[in-house]
């Protein structure tokens, strides 16, 4: 009978404690029994010397955290954030693809219109320059003709004419056929000279 009771006590000591207070009680009893000698164990009874025991390590927290899942590593979180950002960018580009194409079409139309207007302006400017050059050339030609006409009208008769077909010399007093060069030819009839009128102040 005594052997059975000692075995039960020994088995109860081997059973693991269920709470932290059981840990403390078991450690205190074990330290007290080890410190007392064998002959004083029955006399002194359980020891009341306080002993410092290490705190038991806490077990896993039963309450779920992070939405009922384990916390992921930092690298995994960064990769997920990058993937989400890329998905958002792709979605935005797909949603705004029509606007971008319309913008590009409008830009191309504007560039074509600008180039067409520039070509029209250059053509008009070239036509204006050509007409201006023609007008200046015509004006200079007319000025030359006017200067030549004025020179022909105002030039002295001694200078030869630059345009003979337009030159008409000033008529002389005698006709060219009446002009006689050298002494007159002798003739039987004397030449009658008109009577010279005496000047009123001349001597007789």
pLDDT of res. 62: 56
Provide, rounded to the nearest whole percent, the portion of the chain with pLDDT above 70: 38
Quick: pLDDT tens for 143-187: 999 998 888 888 765 555 555 555 565 555 555 555 555 565 555
Residue found under tokens 């030449």:
191
Instruction: Please give the average per-residue pLDDT across 18-46, as a whole number.
Output: 52
d(CA 192, CA 20): 187
For the chain, the residue count is 204
d(CA 204, CA 202): 7
56 close to 23: Cβ distance less than 8 angstroms: yes
CA atoms within 13 A on the CB side of 202: 5
**Largest interatomic CA distance in the chain:** 221
**Cα 95 from chain centroid?**
26
Instruction: Please give the average per-residue pLDDT across 53-64, as a whole number.
Output: 62
Q: What is the CA radius of gyration of the chain?
A: 72
Quick: pLDDT tens for 185-200: 555 555 555 555 555 5
pTM of the model: 0.29
């Amino acid at each position: 009978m005594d052997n059975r009771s000692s075995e039960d006590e020994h088995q109860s000591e081997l059973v693991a404690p269920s709470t932290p207070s059981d840990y403390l009680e078991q450690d205190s009893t074990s330290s007290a029994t080890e410190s007392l000698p064998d002959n004083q164990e029955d006399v002194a009874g359980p020891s009341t010397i306080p002993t410092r025991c290490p705190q038991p390590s806490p077990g896993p927290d039963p309450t779920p955290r992070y939405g009922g899942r384990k916390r992921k590593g930092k690298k995994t979180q960064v990769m997920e954030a990058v993937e989400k950002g890329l998905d958002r960018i792709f979605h935005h580009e797909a949603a705004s693809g029509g606007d971008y194409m319309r913008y590009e079409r409008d830009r191309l139309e504007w560039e074509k219109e600008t180039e067409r207007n520039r070509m029209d302006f250059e053509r008009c400017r070239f036509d204006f320059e050509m007409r201006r050059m023609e007008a200046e050339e015509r004006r200079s030609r007319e000025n030359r003709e006017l200067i030549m006409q004025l020179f022909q009208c105002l030039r002295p008769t001694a200078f030869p004419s630059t345009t003979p077909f337009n030159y008409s010399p000033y008529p002389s007093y005698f006709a060219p056929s009446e002009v006689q060069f050298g002494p007159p030819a002798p003739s039987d009839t004397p030449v009658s000279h008109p009577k010279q009128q005496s000047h009123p102040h001349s001597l007789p």
